[in-house]
Amino acid sequence: MKRFTVAFGVVLAIVALAPLVGEAQERVKAFDRLDGPRIALPDDPGGASEMRQLCPDSTEMCQRYWAYTGYFVRNATIPARDREVIILRTAWLNRGDYIWGRHNIIGQEAGLTEQEISRVTRGGDAAGWSDFDAALLRAADELYTSRFVSEATWNTLGERYTESQLREVVLIVGNYTQLSMFQNTLGAQLEPGIEGLPGDGR
């Protein structure tokens, strides 16, 4: 009975999310996109990426922020592949072009195929995902649209994750949402040779 209730809850969550995510996608397409940084970059970047130039380690705020955001790539306890599914979906929802470009590469290193990365843009109801992968994608969608993970999604993730790892999921989505805002507003540009969001997400 419990399994049926959870499954029914998942179906309801997907049905409820569909129009919300669709509306979000339309808003994403309409966003302005800067073709250059909005603030002056240092004359001598010292090999730092453009994102690090826009938020330099020479300031305490940025130094502390990069230490925080770096935790999720270096020290998160959820599997690297799962982490990248969440990050890529969050980047796509928030039009995080720079993040998508970087994590397209990192995601493949973590075990995602090019086909799976492309499928991330279609969300958890796209054919081919496992139930758990679909729940990861749905968690990102729910946090984006309602700032809340539904009980059905939480319970599905909880079948495999510890409470600490469940917290990680929420913090990863929050962090990369914030980073997308920063990247979009300040106009971070991708390095040559790195592809950003697919055409329908830019």
Terminal Cα-to-Cα distance of the chain (whole angstroms): 43
Count of domains for the chain: 1
Residue 35, Cβ density class (10 Å: 0-12 exposed, 13-18 middle, ≥19 buried): exposed
**pLDDT tens digits, 64-120:** 999 999 999 899 999 999 999 999 999 999 999 999 999 999 999 999 999 999 999
Which residue numbers in the chain have pLDDT < 70? 1-33, 39, 42-47, 200-202
Tell me the residue range of the domain where 32 lies: 2-201
Give the pLDDT score at 51: 78
Average predicted confidence (pLDDT) for the chain:
85
3-state secondary structure of 42: coil
| CATH number, domain with residue 77 | 1.20.1290.10
Specify the pLDDT at position 21.
60
